[in-house]
Homo-oligomer: A and B are copies of this chain.
Amino acid sequence: MTIKAAVEFAQENQGRFVEELKALLRIPSVSTAPEHAGDVRLAAEFVAAELKRIGMENVRLIETATAERPGGHPLVYADWLKAGLGADGKAKPTVLCYGHYDVQPAEPLDEWLSPPFEPTERNGNLYARGAVDDKGQMWMHVKALESLMVAGGGTLPVNVRVIVEGEEEVGGEGIAHFVRAHGDQLQADVALVSDTEMFAPDLPTLCVGLRGMIYTEIEARGARTDLHSGMYGGAAPNPFVALAQVIAQLKDAEGKILIPGFYDKVAKPTEAELKAWKALPFDEEHYRETEVGSVALTGEPGYSVLERTWSRPTLDVHGMPGGFIGAGAKTVIPAKAVAKVSMRLVPDMTPAEAFAQYKAYVELLTPKGIVLEVRMIHSGDPIVVSTDNVYVKAATDAMHTVFGKETVFVRGGGSIPIVGDFVRELTIPTVMMGFGLPDDNLHAPNEKFHLANFYRGIESIVRFLSGVGA
């Protein structure tokens, strides 16, 4: 009956839950922007205060800033570990609920239909930076815990630890250090992560694999100072031309990466997995037209879109700072230019080896007159999680009740760096139960969360936690 009461409480309080989420979304906790450091902390304090209010214990901010990382953002920790013994006479399991309260930058601002930090409801969606990634999904956890706590008269059906980080969008270094140094403080039997998406609307989805990444910068330096292209054009090296020459040799025209050895460690998905992917409701032409909107898709020949985005490594350029980017014309040969280049990695690649291969190859390509510097900004391991455990069963049961459908198992193309640490350092399985939609515009203008999924997510988590504690 506790489950029923918790689900009813959640339903009755939907309006308030959304208003609270809006308040959190109004805090521009952009973790990559030093000028928003105060906002990032504010968001952490907001989450901590709510965890305390709903009855979680040992609520505290864990500082991650050190002399070497003065800009580290705090972790939010809370727990409730009084669940006692289960029907089998053994101690009930502990679930580690993970989320992040930091968000991506909102630029380009002029493409938002409503301001990114003024949450706005339209057509059943809540629009704001962080709506789904990940403030909204993290808030589902908090609200599921509140609902269970109220229904249970101040108790939960299972032991719970909550850890919420503020650096997921910048590589998650702070939480990674903490897990490696103080993993015992997060000791649990399973991690619950809601930072992924559903494969299609109304299709309950568990994510069982994530690509890793290395995010790098290549800095090209030519002349000592900016020069006039009239006077020096034809003699002075041009850092943008040099970067173009390098980038053009990183991938071929089709999208195959040309870094020697880069594919050597790439593991092929199992036949069963590939077969399951083929059975998913997915039409490449529909995807091209509705999700990407380009005249054609690109990528390695011989692989489906799902393979290319889930189980193959990729390389992208995100921006090329330097020189003149204003309106009109400035005839400058800039002294330096930078390319922000990232690579997505898949099992069994490692960031260290991939970066070493990439760096050596880029340096080999150094154009005449140019000095290149290749630097790592951050990295994350690729992972595949186990599906053969009671926690995955509890998750699929919970979602079956809520959605009335069988769960599909997919992989994600993006990285959630901490999941790799949970697997490696805590040696626990992770359940990635996410409620975003493919068109939720993560990391892009007009990010949204479909509110129906916010509510279904809360109910699914209520049922999952109850199931694990049963």
A interface with B by C-beta (< 8 Å): 32-34, 104-105, 107-108, 111, 169-171, 197, 211, 213, 215, 221-238, 240-241, 243-249, 251, 253-255, 287, 291-300, 305, 308-309, 312, 314-334, 337, 339-340, 342, 344, 367-371, 377-378, 412-415, 438, 441-446
Contact = CB atoms under 8 A, between A and B. Distances in A.
A372 B111 CA distance: 20
A368 B296 contact: yes
B225 A441 contact: yes
Contacts of A337: 320
A72 to B, nearest CB: 13
Contact of A234 (B241, B246, B300, B317): B300
Given A233-B413, A292-B236, A309-B235, A443 B32 contact: no
Given A319-B334, A321-B325, A329-B377, 14 more contacts: A32-B330, A227-B292, A228-B442, A230-B415, A233-B344, A234-B312, A234-B413, A236-B297, A240-B339, A245-B247, A248-B249, A316-B333, A319-B324, A320-B320
A340 B323 contact: yes
A115 to B, nearest CB: 17
B318 A330 contact: yes
Copy number in this complex?
Answer: 2
Contacts of A247: 240-241, 244-245, 248
B344 A294 contact: no
Contacts of A244: 243-248, 317
A235 B305 contact: yes
A378 B328 CA distance: 9
Contacts of A442: 228, 231
Nearest to A222: B294
Contacts of A296: 237, 368-369
A295 B371 contact: yes
B325 A225 contact: no
B414 A236 contact: no
Contacts of A225: 111, 293, 441, 444-446
B105 A233 contact: no
A13 to B, nearest CB: 31
Contact of A32 (B104, B108, B328): B328
11 contacts: A32-B329, A105-B326, A222-B294, A225-B293, A233-B314, A233-B315, A235-B292, A237-B298, A245-B247, A248-B249, A318-B334
A344 B230 contact: yes
A244 B258 CA distance: 15
A214 to B, nearest CB: 10
A218 to B, nearest CB: 11
A305 B235 CA distance: 6
A355 to B, nearest CB: 14
Closest 3 CB pairs of A and B: A230-B414, A224-B293, A319-B323
Contacts of A221: 294
A133 to B, nearest CB: 8
A274 to B, nearest CB: 16
Nearest to A33: B326
B317 A238 contact: yes
A232 B333 contact: no
Contacts of A299: 234-235
Nearest to A108: B226
